[in-house]
């Protein structure tokens, strides 16, 4: 076993405490990664606080991992010691079902293995990236392009791919009007990516507080959803809406903003159901869809796209002692626009 330093919560309401966890000894296809940075995703909070159902404790969250290969198993071919690599929301899948074979491991028919909070094929409870080291099979490791800073790369492993994948799937590009609901971690990446793909981008945020930022990130328009006039003005406007909101919102109001044949894709994953009136769809042949992260091949494609287009998340690097505070700020929609833990600060406990 390999002992790693980590920060864990020990109960649903608990604060973070320093601890150690055991990583498995390297199997032939495994890579040991020395983690340098880990992003904080709202899903970490949903999971730890039991929003999506019970979880095990202690829990080490973190699925936006950037680091350096420290050791490789005897049959690893893709990576060597010293390579700059990333790990996102999953660390394994069956590898055999139709979706795995098509490179959409996130939709594995047996269920993918989450980076934390899951039971892996060795029967061990997975623990995430708020830690100094992780062992991952090489097929679930991606390469961070040269010249991309590791701290800025980390959030791309979840916030980046989760927005890139639906933008690609629903063909965001020139001539398409895309709205992004919620300007947080995922939302700000959606704006940057949709803009780079050539779409006309509108941000729908609760207020106009972040308008300057939104326009700088690449949005063409910015509206406050607290103003009911917004919904009248923009009725029937968008080809694609990416909803990143972590809480329940009035879906009928947002569906009314779609044009004929438009699609609203929910990537936000609130714990409560999101009821809709079917007439919100029927009236303009609209679709209400969902999307989960992206496959490994597409994650690599997204990283390369970001490198090529010079796209990086806006980050606030924090120390391991500030995770509790950062979580409270995420919950208060006070994140600009992704917190990233400097794992180096975890070593001095």
Alpha helices in the chain (DSSP H): 42-48, 98-101, 150-153, 159-169, 185-196, 211-217, 228-233, 251-255, 279-282, 296-308, 323-331
Q: How far is the CB of 249 from ligand NAP (least distance, A)?
A: 5
Closest CA to 227 of 246, 248, 200, 209: 209
Closest CA to 183 of 158, 148, 212, 149: 212
- Residue 46 contact partner, candidates Zn ion, ligand NAP, none, CB within 5 to 8 A by sort of partner: ligand NAP
Q: Which is nearer to ligand NAP, 5 or 185 (CB)?
A: 185
- Neighbouring CB atoms inside 10 A of 5's CB total 19
Which of the ranges 10-18, 79-87, 144-152, 267-275 carries the binding residues for ligand NAP, by CB under 6 A?
267-275
Q: Which is nearer to ligand NAP, 120 or 314 (CB)?
A: 314
Count of chain residues binding Zn ion (CB under 5 A): 3
Return the residues of window 62-101 that contact ligand NAP according to CB under 6 A: none
- Side-chain-facing half-sphere of 131: CA atoms under 13 Å: 30
- Residue 42 contact partner, candidates ligand NAP, Zn ion, none, CB within 5 to 8 A by sort of partner: ligand NAP
Q: Which is nearer to Zn ion, 184 or 218 (CB)?
A: 184
Which residue of this chain has its Cβ atom nearest to Zn ion in the complex?
A: 41
DSSP state of 293: -
Assess 132 for contact with Zn ion (CB under 5 A). no
Q: What residues does 313 pair with on adjacent strands?
A: none
Contact criterion met (CB below 8 Å) for 206 and 226? yes
Quick one: angle between helices 159-169 and 296-308, nearest 10?
100
CA distances 261 to 97, 181, 241, 280, 289, Å, are 31, 19, 12, 12, 12
Cis peptide before 58 (omega within 30 of 0): yes
Assess 296 for contact with Zn ion (CB under 5 A). no
Assess 158 for contact with Zn ion (CB under 5 A). yes
Q: Cα Rg for the chain, rounded, in angstroms?
A: 20
Check residue 53 and give left, alpha or beta (phi > 0: left; psi -120 to 50: alpha).
Answer: left
Q: How far is the CB of 62 from Zn ion (least distance, A)?
A: 9
Which of the ranges 12-20, 127-135, 136-144, 203-211 carries the binding residues for ligand NAP, by CB under 6 A?
203-211
Q: Which is nearer to Zn ion, 63 or 177 (CB)?
A: 63
One of 33, 43, 131, 243 touching Zn ion (CB under 5 A): 43
Assess 313 for contact with ligand NAP (CB under 6 A). no
Return the residues of window 32-61 that contact ligand NAP according to CB under 6 A: 41-43, 46
* Contacts of 229 by beta carbon, 8 Å cutoff, 6+ apart: none
Assess 335 for contact with ligand NAP (CB under 6 A). yes
Which of the ranges 10-18, 39-47, 123-131, 311-319 carries the binding residues for Zn ion, by CB under 5 A?
39-47
Assess 176 for contact with ligand NAP (CB under 6 A). no
One of 55, 246, 256, 263 touching ligand NAP (CB under 6 A): 246
DSSP state of 10: -
Closest CA to 12 of 44, 49, 42, 39: 49
- Residue 230 contact partner, candidates ligand NAP, Zn ion, none, CB within 5 to 8 A by sort of partner: none
Residues in the chain: 349
- Residue 245 contact partner, candidates ligand NAP, Zn ion, none, CB within 5 to 8 A by sort of partner: ligand NAP
Per-residue binder mask for ligand NAP (CB under 6 A), 224-243, x = binder? --------------------
Residue ranges in contact with Zn ion by CB under 5 A: 41, 43, 158
Residue ranges in contact with ligand NAP by CB under 6 A: 41-43, 46, 158-159, 162, 182-187, 205-206, 210, 244-247, 249, 267-270, 291-293, 330, 333, 335
């Amino acid at each position: 076993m390999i002992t790693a330093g980590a920060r864990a919560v020990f109960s649903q309401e608990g604060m973070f405490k320093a601890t150690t966890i055991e990583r498995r000894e390297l199997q032939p296809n495994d890579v040991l990664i020395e983690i340098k940075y880990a992003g904080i995703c709202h899903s970490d909070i949903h999971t730890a606080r039991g929003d999506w159902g019970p979880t095990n404790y202690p829990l080490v969250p973190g699925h936006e991992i950037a680091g350096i290969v420290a050791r490789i198993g005897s049959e690893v071919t893709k990576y060597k010691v010293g390579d700059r690599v990333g790990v996102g929301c999953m660390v394994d899948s069956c590898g055999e079902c139709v979706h795995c074979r098509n490179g959409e491991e996130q939709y594995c028919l047996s269920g993918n293995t989450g980076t934390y909070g899951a039971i892996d094929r060795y029967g061990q409870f997975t623990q995430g990236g708020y830690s100094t080291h992780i062992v991952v099979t090489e097929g679930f490791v991606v390469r961070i392009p040269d010249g991309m800073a590791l701290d800025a790369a980390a959030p791309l492993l979840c916030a980046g791919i989760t927005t890139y994948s639906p933008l690609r799937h629903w063909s965001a590009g020139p001539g398409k009007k895309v709205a992004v609901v919620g300007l947080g971690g995922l939302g700000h990446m959606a704006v940057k990516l949709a803009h780079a793909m050539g779409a006309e981008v509108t941000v729908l945020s609760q207020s106009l507080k972040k308008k300057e930022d939104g326009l700088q990130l690449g949005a063409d328009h910015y509206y406050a959803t607290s103003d009911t006039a917004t919904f009248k003005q923009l009725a029937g406007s968008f080809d694609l809406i990416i909803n990143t909101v972590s809480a329940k919102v009035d879906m009928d109001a947002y569906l009314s903003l779609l044009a004929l044949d438009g699609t609203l894709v929910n990537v936000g994953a609130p714990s409560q159901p999101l009821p809709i009136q079917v007439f919100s769809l029927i009236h303009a042949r609209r679709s209400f869809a969902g999307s989960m992260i992206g496959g490994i091949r597409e994650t690599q494609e997204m990283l390369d796209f970001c490198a090529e287009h010079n796209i990086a998340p806006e980050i606030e690097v924090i120390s391991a002692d500030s995770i509790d505070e950062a979580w409270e700020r995420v919950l208060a929609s006070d994140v600009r626009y992704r917190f990233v833990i400097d794992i180096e600060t975890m070593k001095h406990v």
